[in-house]
Copies of this chain bind each other. A is one copy, B any other.
Amino acid sequence: MTTEDTNGNPHAHRRSKLAARLGTRPALIASGSARPRNYTANTYPFRASSHFLYLFGLAAERDAFAFYDGATWALYLPPRDPDDALWEGPRPSFAAIAESTGCAVHGVPELDRALHGRDVATLPAPDLETCEAQGRWLGRDVRPRRFSAADEALADAIISLRLQHDDAAIAELRLAAAATDAAHRAGMRATRPGLRESSVRAAMEAEILARDLTVAYGSIVTTHGEVLHNEQHHRPLGSSDMILADVGAESPGGWAGDVTRAWPVAGRFSTAQRELYEVVLAAQRRAIEAVRPGVRYRDVHLLAGRALAAGLVDLGLLRGDPAELHADGVVASFFPHGVGHLLGLDVHDMEDLGDRAGYAPGRTRDPAPGMRYLRLDRDLAPGMALTIEPGIYFIPAILEDPALDARTGGRVDRARAAAFVAAGARGIRIEDDLLVTPDGHEVLTAAVPKTVAAVEAAMQS
């Protein structure tokens, strides 16, 4: 949102802002290691750590370190091996990287001299290999999700920057949204009874791969959307099923898109499918309308929950007063997760820093049903990106639990729930990516078909 960021090098601007927050306190940021699939040399495509990407944008620099010595930033990269050209092609020279970044570039072994005897903050990488390297350089134990006091101060400084996206970041989020839109349209077009879930997933991911991008997270493409992180794709598509697809592209610079849609395999929503879908859509709209600077995200979550409560009462699934049903946690049996999360270089942005990023200082997770999975509880501010993703799920373990009646005071109509399950409406979630603007918000993923009419049209196209 700060227009100066697009003038010149956004990474240099971010480094200078972070330096201003750190003052004379030194910091070491690791780019991370390639992850093995099954043996060391067979790796997943390398993706630099989000903090390193944020500050340098050097997506291909594995096993590299950025060091801020309390005054300036320098890069420490693995020495170039002559065999690189044979196996992986020529890599940019240290001189070329020094030129493009404006930073001094050294070989990793020279870190020793730079760090010698200093108390240096770092952010533990998610993989132990990199943590071990960090620990070796810093002479202390570095572990994922464990932070020294200095590390926490560094984390807070980075969070204060990454929470509110600059123009370069927003441009990347738009690229991710555009590829995510194409993927969902391809999935809708590819859906036909008799295929398997995997065919729809393939059509969606192929759109992303064809753009030379990758998915931002493991795709969920399932007829059993009631399993929240369902990564199975083997089931055949029955003509009365609905597909839930939670698929997002990662932009060229590593920024995430994160969209969920649900659509009928038959190409037309049945009455029951449409009824449930419209309840979720109304709740999502209610939540989206509320997104603006100064609003507490927890309240957006509660708005969505109350709107779902009202809709479930209208459908005869719940009996009683919507506000009471929500306050009593009955709605949480159908909407157990949070209404969304921060979005940025990580699909759950900065989740490597725990709730430090998602929760404002002094706020902590509420263990109540329906609240404990809420990943974001900050007052919204311009430049924040987040998702809004209410859902309704008929979860067998909950609906078949003999204690359900006692727990809900008999306010759940199990037979009505079973009818929706039979209609293929087992789990519906609708998710968009939003940018908080000075005046309210912008839906970054507004192009992805969402109304019943738009989804049906996209399936026919």
Contact of A224 among B39, B89, B129, B208 (CB under 8 A): B89
Contact of A35 among B44, B85, B346, B351 (CB under 8 A): B44
Residues of B within 8 A of A41 (CB): 348, 351
Most buried by B among A126, A230, A397: A126
Most buried by B among A36, A39, A144, A230: A39
Residues of B within 8 A of A197 (CB): 212
Q: Are B40 and A144 in contact (CB under 8 A)?
A: yes
Residues of B within 8 A of A210 (CB): 196, 198-199, 201-203
A227 within 8 A of B: yes
Q: Are A35 and B127 in contact (CB under 8 A)?
A: yes
B-contacting residues, A4-54, CB 8 Å: 35-45, 47, 49-50
| Contact string against B for A residues 78-100, beta-carbon threshold 8 Å, 1 for contact and 0 otherwise | 00001001111110000000000
Copies assembled: 2
Q: How far is the CB of A383 from chain B (nearest CB, A)?
A: 21
Contact of A346 among B39, B43, B144, B396 (CB under 8 A): B39
Residues of B within 8 A of A397 (CB): 82, 85-86, 90
Q: Are A88 and B229 in contact (CB under 8 A)?
A: yes
Q: How far is the CB of A227 from chain B (nearest CB, A)?
A: 4
CA A233 – CA B214 in complex, angstroms? Answer: 11
Residues of B within 8 A of A232 (CB): 89
CA A224 – CA B90 in complex, angstroms? Answer: 12
Beyond A39-B348, A39-B352, 9 additional pairs, beta carbon < 8 A: A35-B35, A35-B36, A38-B50, A40-B145, A85-B397, A89-B224, A89-B230, A198-B209, A212-B234
| A–B pairs, 13, beta carbons within 8 Å | A36-B127, A39-B348, A40-B144, A40-B145, A42-B348, A86-B228, A86-B336, A86-B395, A87-B227, A89-B227, A201-B209, A203-B206, A212-B234
